[in-house]
Structure 1
């Protein structure tokens, strides 16, 4: 099984340790919610998300050696709201490990679902995106200190 299929198979099983093992030590990750993560931060993000996921379901719609289209359905724990996040990812893989991973999704669509009326009204603004990113980063920092 290729590294991208292994990543999403582990994600579907909520195995953050296996997901983290697929990233190179100097890996880079970026998405609209967390921004840029480097080194072990990407693996720790997956460990945190899979540890907190209570009702996650994941569908790997399609993938090849450098991209994936996946859909995650889960409850956003901070608000209790159901989210269906449709994500397109690009990858650079070197020596069987992910060195660069970029997830792209509509932040406005995500924020409407996750945050409700505030996301609907403010989800397109840099202000809300910055606030979400700051909270996501604080949560990751706290998780990494554990």
Structure 2
């Protein structure tokens, strides 16, 4: 539902991971180039982790632009400092979102150009290897480990 998607991105603009998590159904799924998550705890944990990292190391440059919100999709662009490297990123994302009858997000898929992102976030390694399955797998493995560590330290 459009109202849920609008509420989700309004919370994201404020880096409010708890409010973002509240937009998801218990059995929600989320997939993008870095994560494949199942359940509100994992999905919401990812957003809480990313929002916390941005507040800690990049709130001064954080900016979210959202447009073309419908009942099933949104276009969003995030301007942020990648916490691992400190490099500036402008990521352009297309979101495909399906809500259940209760109005909560059940399926969320974000698509973006991984090579473009990796060149910005990782610099030379991203430029040289961002198109390879090797780097994509490394990013996914590191992201999953970071999320597991975050969820263990701050379940919710």
TM-score interval for Structure 1 and Structure 2 normalised by the shorter chain: over 0.9
Shift of 1:82: 0.1
Partner of 1:111: 118
How far apart, CA to CA, are the structure 2 residues paired with 1:15 and 1:115?
A: 26
C-alpha distance in 2 between matches for 1:74 and 1:135:
19
Partner of 1:42: 43
Question: Which SS does the other structure have where 2:136 is aligned?
Answer: helix
1:123 and 2:130 correspond = yes
Q: 2-side partners of 1:118 and 1:82: how far apart?
A: 15
Question: How far apart are the structure 2 equivalents of 1:11 and 1:31?
Answer: 17
2:96 maps to 90
- 1:71: Cα distance to partner? 0.2
Residue 61 of structure 1 deviates from its aligned partner by 2.1
Normalising by structure 2, we get a TM-score of 0.91
Residues 30-51 of structure 1, C-alpha deviations (whole Å, 9 max, x = no match): 00012x1000211110011111
Is residue 3 of structure 1 aligned with residue 10 of structure 2?
Answer: no
Alignment of 1:75-86 (within 5 A): 75-86=81-92
Q: Which runs of 4+ in 1 moved over 2 A?
A: none
More strand by share: 1
1:119-142 Cα offsets, whole Å, 9 max, x none, are 011000000000000011111000
- The number of residues matched between the two structures is 145
CA positional deviation for 1:98: 0.2
Other-structure match for 1:74 = 80
State the superposition RMSD in angstroms.
0.9
2:64 is the counterpart of 1:58: yes
